[in-house]
Every structure is written in C-alpha cells, then in structure tokens.
Amino acid sequence: MPEMSVAELTRATGGELVRGDPDSRVTSYGIDSRRLEPGAAFFALVGSQTDGHRYLGDAAEHQAAVAVVQAVPEGDAPAPPALIRVDDVVAALGRSGISVRRSLRPRRWFAITGSNGKTTTKELLAEGLSAHGRVHRTPGNFNNHLGVPLTLLACPADAQMVVLELGMSARGEIARLVEIVDPDVAVVTNVRAAHLQAFDSLDDIAAAKGELFAALRDEATAVVNLDDVHVRVQAARHRGPRVTFGQSPQADLRLDDLVGRFYPGTSFTLHHGSRERRVQLRLGGAHSAFNALAAAAAVVAAGVELEPALERMERVEAGPGRGRVHRLARGMVLVDDSYNSSPAALASVLDTLRVNPAEGRRVLIMGDMLELGRMEGALHREAGKRAATAGVQLLFAVGPLSRAAAETARRAGVAEVHHHADSARAAESVAEFLRDGDLIVVKGSRGIRMERIVQALIAQCGEA
C-alpha cells in the first residue's frame, strides 16, 4: 500500500503536525484501533456512537506511528508518537484518499454503483480485469465515505487497475465519492426500490445514483444499462463517451437465451458487434447474467480484450450470503442469499426459484426488506404474491414486516406458511419442517441477520 512520511500525510490531510517526527514512516491506515498494524496511521473518527479519541491509548499499544485527531490529548495521556490535528477527521480521511488517487498511476480507475448488484459486478469486473494486470478492488462492500478512501489508502503502488464500489443512502454522497475516486469508467447497474426511507420516489433515487454520471470527467466513459429507463435518463448527464449493455437490440453488449438457475449456474449468449459467445457462470439467477454483462461492458470501455476477461468471470464463485449453494443431507439444496434484500432482488431470486429444477418442494425463507419507507407494507404484500406465483410450497416469513408477506402468500395459495418474529427463533425450528429433496432459498435484509438460519440449517441438517 502507499507508504508515506508523517509530513506527507500531514499535507494530504490538510492538518498541522503538533507532535512527532515528520520523517517517520506510515505504512498502513485504519479507523479501528483494535486492528491497527505497527506503523499505522489512526484516524480518530468522532461519531454518534463513539469517539475515536478515546482509543488513542489502544492505538499506541498497537504501535501506530501517528494519529489524526481533532483534539490533542492533554498532558501525558497515552497516544501514538506523532499527532496531526485537523478540523474534521472524516474530511481529512477523504482528502488523504484524494491525495493517493492523484499520486498513483494505474491504467484505469473504475467506479460502480446501483441499487442491486454492485458488489457482484465489482467482483466480476475485478476478476475479469485480472487477466490483464494487477487489480485492486473494494474489499467486501467497503463502499461509503469512509470505506472508499481507506480502500485507496490500501492500494498497492504497482496496481494497474482499481475497481471501486460506491454506495449511498442520501443525496450528494455519490458526487462526493466521485470527487475522491475520479474514475475513468463509471457503471450504474440499475435503479430499483431500495433506500426508499430516505427518498420520496424512484426518480429521486435515480438522481442520486446518477451523480456518478454527472460528476464524470468529459473524457471518462459511462457504462449504461439500456434496459433501465432511469439509468438511460441519468446517462444524459454525462457528455462524454458511453458503452451500453442490456437486452435492447441497440445495446453495444447484448444478451439473450438466458437460462437463470442456481446450479450449475446461469448461462446466456453475449453479443458484441459481430461476436457471439455463450457464457456459463457459476453464479445463479438472471440478475447474475446482467451483473456479468455490466462487467463485460466495463471491460470494453477500458479498451482491453474481452475474451480473457470473460474466461476469468466464468470462474467466479458466489460469496457467503450472495447466492452460495450448499448441498445438504437427504438431497436438500440450500441457496444462501442472506446478505441483503430488496423487492427487485427478491423478485429475481423468486424467478430463478420458479425455473430451477427441484426434487422436492420449493421453500422460501424470507426476512424483512428494510428501508422501504411508506411503501414497505405494499412491497411485502407483493412479495407474498410473487412467492405463490413462483411455486413456493413452504414459506417462512421472518420479522415484523414479513407478516404481511405471509398473510398474502397464504391467501394466494402457498400451501404451508409460518411466521417468526426474528431470525433467532426461526433458526431453532425451520429444519423440522423440511423434507428430502427440498430446494431452500434464504433471503432478507442485513439487519434481520438471516445468516443465523443458514448456519443453523447447515449444522442441523449436515452438508452432503
């Protein structure tokens, strides 16, 4: 990762060195005092839950080289040997990220946002680009105003391409992240009903996501989902080049003959110019095909060869909670899609469940979909109807909001429906209702902790 002197970090943060050796070296960067490595810079964030200044002693015990602070500790209070004082630690962290972005010289910088599929698209794109050089990527979904600059500060000096995921929960956040990242290629995967609690409408969500296109340099390339009207509208905010993808006949990269299954994975035919290629992913669901198509479009936008990138993408395995398939005893199959949920993501999973062959019943374990604002009741009722249409025969609804989905699913014809107040209670009893050969999908918003149920099913049923 970029190593710098304390003096260089002081300039990057825009702060004042009030103590310590300006020539001492900083070799890593962090905001959690428990995870610091020797030689680290500790950014003492001041948040609503805690104050990083309380942990300066812990940072010193971990041999941090320097702390970036808003308040200098009094007297001989334990702290790292060097202290940089700033007006706002969060802003200083962002400025440090910008400094690294300007100092490094990878061939291409990529930024990805969207309501659904950001992380999977990021992983597919990073793996594809790795066929052409060393790639640095956002770890996990480290995609906010803290995670993005920390990802930049962790970028190896010899990285040739950097793939960054940008998340948001309010207007203006994407624009600020684009200011930090300054991407060469920008992807908006889609605009869907997510974070409605913070926005009045889908148009408002689209405008917030569209900040990625609006803030691009004119010479940067926008990667545009032609199938999504909101993305098409927002793409007009960028005056520079674009590469398009989708099922639309006008798309630069187009897919058809889509077969979306959980196992052995989703396949589709990709068309790019005169080229036609069958793509077989290890990831399940139609949504995975569109994530791969978006990643392929970004590869084309970068001007590197597509075929080696597609070969790498075809090897990508689903991560924990993101559609990973577990084969359990008694011929049961468990699809762990527990990491997060939204109406569009759940609809895609149900479409896949409907077409996926199953020896036994189709079973959905559905947790609440959060942050949907005043639409939460209607969208959960719609989910119950979709479950019936998808052929779900056994439904477990988890959480207070999902009670509406359970009641609607029962009326719509789902044969067996159960409701649990939370995932801990559901984890205790779900296994007893399963039968040989059942195909089981677990999905819910992060706050519902649906991974508890996945862990319990694996422990109680055993993997084959």
CATH of the domain at 147: 3.40.1190.10
Separation between Cα atoms, residue 453 and residue 426, nearest integer Å = 7
Kindly state whether residues 339 and 432 are assigned to the same domain: yes
pLDDT at 432: 95
Question: What pLDDT, on the 0 to 100 scale, is given for residue 74?
Answer: 86
Residue 84 lies in a domain: yes
pLDDT value of residue 50:
87
Positive or negative CA dihedral for 116, 119, 124, 125?
positive
- 264 with 173, same domain: the answer is yes
Q: What pLDDT score does 305 carry? A: 97
Is residue 264 reached through a cis peptide bond, with omega within 30 degrees of 0 on the bond before it? yes
CATH code for the domain in which residue 12 is found: 3.40.1390.10
Q: Are residues 237 and 112 in the same domain?
A: yes
Alpha carbons 321 and 235: distance in angstroms, whole number: 31
Say yes or no: 134 and 264 in one domain: yes
State residue 82's pLDDT score: 98
How far is it, in rounded angstroms, from Cα 134 to Cα 308?
14
Average pLDDT across each block of 10 residues of the chain; the chain has 464 residues. List them in order: 91 97 97 96 91 96 98 91 97 96 90 95 98 95 94 93 94 96 97 79 93 97 98 97 97 96 95 96 95 98 97 96 95 96 94 92 97 93 97 98 97 97 96 97 96 97 92
Does residue 96 form part of some domain?
Answer: no
For residue 49, what pLDDT is reported?
83
Which pairing describes strands 394-398 and 28-30: parallel, antiparallel, or unpaired? Answer: unpaired
Looking at residue 117, its pLDDT comes to 93
Q: What range defines the domain where residue 214 resides?
A: 104-313
Q: Which of 313, 337, 363 is the last residue of a domain?
A: 313
Question: Quick one: DSSP state of residue 447?
Answer: G
Same domain, 302 and 378: no
Please state, in angstroms and rounded to a whole number, the distance separating the CA atoms of residues 332 and 328: 5
Residue with tokens 């209670």: 425
pLDDT recorded at residue 215: 96
| Domains: count for the chain | 3
Domain check: are 109 and 51 in the same one? no
Domain annotation covers residue 94? no
**Same domain for 276 and 191:** yes
Same domain, 456 and 355: yes
**Residue at 97 is within a domain:** no
Which pair of structure tokens corresponds to residue 281? 């992913």
This prediction has a pTM of 0.93
d(CA 346, CA 335): 13
Q: Are residues 153 and 268 in the same domain?
A: yes
- The encoded tokens of residue 286 equal 């139609």
The distance of Cα 408 from the centroid of its chain, to the nearest Å, equals 30
Q: Are residues 257 and 350 in the same domain?
A: no
294 with 373, same domain: the answer is no
Domain match, 277 and 416 both: no
